[in-house]
A and B are shown apart, each in its own frame.
Chain A
């Protein structure tokens, strides 16, 4: 079955960098767009970034544009989120998620990993 497992979270000081990773299995990784979604403590879900199946295009939320970079390595079934200039408001659980697909329909977000926690504190 589809599995997405995130890693790389931890405690980081404001202004520093962190790289999150996500390993995918159970599907043909190179044929699906992938997302990062985050959730601050006690907050709702916030879409962060998308990368196309082949890595040729990406999109970002305004809140992270210019600071975060999404990337992928299709040879390793890996998704990454490089986070620079971290702020207190970037803290939360970061989920790796796949583009949803059923028959000819696609575009929603599903399934999701279990999440990795990022804390930003001095």
Chain B
């Protein structure tokens, strides 16, 4: 099975900061990666699919990049509503979530 490693596990940042979260796959998964945002007590919200495609309605400050084994989620200018936990998802005939990254107030 393909393993996913997401980093960092926690990220302390301030409003306006540029934030980057990384997911690495143990072997190539082409572009079959999605990113989600989750707030406490809520279901995950899709941000990015196919590594870099922005889900409809998601602010353009969110972007995804990468292919093969290394992928990044970037928030260009962190907003108050963005403090949450973020997960990547591999969907390459198996479905595996990353460990999660909690973005907290610095």
Residues of chain A touching chain B, judged by Cβ–Cβ distance below 8 Å, are 35, 37, 44-47, 50, 59, 95, 100, 102, 105, 107-115
User: A100 — which chain B residues lie within 8 A by C-beta?
Assistant: 34, 46, 49
**Complex formed: what's the CA distance from A50 to B99 in Å?**
20
Is there contact, CB below 8 Å, between A110 and B99? no
- How near does chain B come to A113, taking the closest CB pair, in angstroms? 7
Which of A47, A50, A110 lies at the interface centre, i.e. has the most chain B CB atoms within 10 A of its CB? A110
Is there contact, CB below 8 Å, between B49 and A108? yes
Q: Please give 9 more A-B residue pairs, beta carbons under 8 A apart, in addition to A44-B100, A45-B36.
A: A44-B98, A45-B89, A45-B97, A47-B89, A105-B50, A108-B89, A109-B89, A110-B55, A112-B43
- Within the complex, which residue of B32, B36, B43 is in contact with A115, where a contact is CB–CB below 8 Å? B43
User: A46 — which chain B residues lie within 8 A by C-beta?
Assistant: 97
Is there contact, CB below 8 Å, between B97 and A44? yes
B8 within 8 Å of A (CB atoms): no
User: A113 — which chain B residues lie within 8 A by C-beta?
Assistant: 43
**Complex formed: what's the CA distance from A95 to B46 in Å?**
14
- Chain A residue with the shortest CB-CB distance to B35: A108
Contact residues of A: prevailing secondary structure: strand
User: A102 — which chain B residues lie within 8 A by C-beta?
Assistant: 49, 53
- Within the complex, which residue of B50, B55, B91, B100 is in contact with A109, where a contact is CB–CB below 8 Å? B91
Is there contact, CB below 8 Å, between B43 and A108? no
Asked whether A108 and B97 contact (CB < 8 A) given A102-B53, A114-B43, A115-B43, the answer is no
Task: Give 10 CB contacts A-B under 8 Å.
Answer: A37-B97, A44-B98, A45-B38, A45-B100, A95-B43, A100-B49, A105-B49, A110-B55, A112-B43, A112-B44
**Complex formed: what's the CA distance from A44 to B87 in Å?**
8
Contact string against A for B residues 49-67, beta-carbon threshold 8 Å, 1 for contact and 0 otherwise: 1100101000000000000
Contact string against A for B residues 67-92, beta-carbon threshold 8 Å, 1 for contact and 0 otherwise: 00000000000000000000101010
**Complex formed: what's the CA distance from A85 to B95 in Å?**
24
Which of A37, A44, A108 lies at the interface centre, i.e. has the most chain B CB atoms within 10 A of its CB? A108
- Chain A residue with the shortest CB-CB distance to B42: A114
